[in-house]
Structure 1
């Protein structure tokens, strides 16, 4: 185990992953809510509700950006050590 403290950029990458996960789960919940009336035979929600479902994809992109940022910071740190 290393005693190094993670850099601020690595922390921001971790924060992006967390925010992306939250946005993704909000979009997933919205997807479940908007699809439920189709199975229950009730009136569907307005189109705005379906637009909220797009948060699922946005959350995935935000989390992926956080992972890529963390990777780049770790590579820079590894090069600096060598």
Structure 2
């Protein structure tokens, strides 16, 4: 669940990053500060997904040890 939420937040941040870079490449006026804050969600989403992966891996570790000892 945490990995999915992190992926969604990452995608929102990636879209925000594309939206903030596009005016700079096209030569138009830069977007307001709020758009740059949305682009920071990319890192937050990555951290959430990584935390979810670590949490899942640590939760499965004792089960793997029990399965190996039962053989």
- CA deviations 1:3-27 (Å, max 9, x no partner) are xxxxxxxxxxxx1111101100100
Aligned pairs, number = 68
- 1:19 matched to 2:8: no
- 1:41 matched to 2:27: yes
Instruction: For residue 73 of structure 1, give the secondary structure of its aligned residue in structure 2.
Output: helix
More helix by share: 2
CA RMSD of aligned residues (A): 0.9
1-structure distance, mates of 2:20, 2:27: 12
Instruction: Provide runs of 4+ in structure 1 moved above 4 Å.
Output: none
- 1:29 matched to 2:15: yes
Question: Within 5 A, what are the aligned runs for 1:50-69?
Answer: 50-69=36-55
**What are the ranges of 5 or more consecutive residues in structure 2 without an aligned counterpart?**
none
1-structure distance, mates of 2:25, 2:63: 52
1-structure distance, mates of 2:43, 2:62: 29
2-structure distance, mates of 1:70, 1:41: 45
